[in-house]
Structure 1
Amino acid sequence: MVDVSQHNLVPEHRVIEEDALEAVLAEYDIDRTDLPKIKRTDPALPDDADVGDVIEITRDSRTTDSATVYRLVIE
């Protein structure tokens, strides 16, 4: 079976630490539930991601070196 998370076209996904998350939420003046969602069954998620965690996704970008987005893991 292929491990999708290791494919070269899948951007890096990692669980963000609570203290870093608080800084992100404060910067954008939002709550955790305001973030876009990602299902726990998404094959790109790290194995240690649980429902309620926030995932930081770092993608390559044509206009900047990289773009960082955040997703809330849901059931």
Structure 2
Amino acid sequence: MVDVSKHELVPEHTVVDEDVIDAVLEEYDIDRTDLPKIKYNDPALPEDAEVGDVIEIVRNSRTADRAIIYRLVVD
């Protein structure tokens, strides 16, 4: 079976540490539940991702070199 998370077109997905996500949420003055969602069974998620974790997705960007997106893992 093919591991989709290792495909060259899938951006890097990592679980964010709690202290880092607290700083991000404070910076944007939002709650964890205000983040965009990602399903726990998404094949691009790291194996250690659990419901309630926040995932950082780093994508290449033509205008900003790289774009960082945060998503909340949901059931």
Q: Please confirm whether the aligned pair reaches a TM-score higher than 0.5, indicating the same fold.
A: yes
Once the two structures are superposed, the pairs formed by residues 3-14 of structure 1 within 5 Å of their partners are 3-14=3-14
Q: How many residues are matched? A: 75
If the length of structure 1 is used for normalisation, what is the TM-score?
A: 0.99
Which residue number in structure 2 is paired with residue 40 of structure 1? 40
Whether 1:50 aligns to 2:50 is: yes
Deviation at 1:35, TM superposition (A): 0.2
Whether 1:66 aligns to 2:63 is: no
SS at match of 2:38: strand
Q: Structure 1, residues 27-46: CA drift from partner, whole Å, max 9, x if none? A: 10000000000000100000
Which runs of 5 or more residues in structure 1 are unaligned?
none
RMSD: 0.3
SS at match of 2:64: coil
Q: 4+ residue runs of structure 1 moved beyond 3 angstroms?
A: none
The one-letter code matched in structure 2 to 1:35 is L
If the length of structure 2 is used for normalisation, what is the TM-score?
A: 0.99
Which residue number in structure 2 is paired with residue 15 of structure 1? 15
Percent identity over the alignment is 72
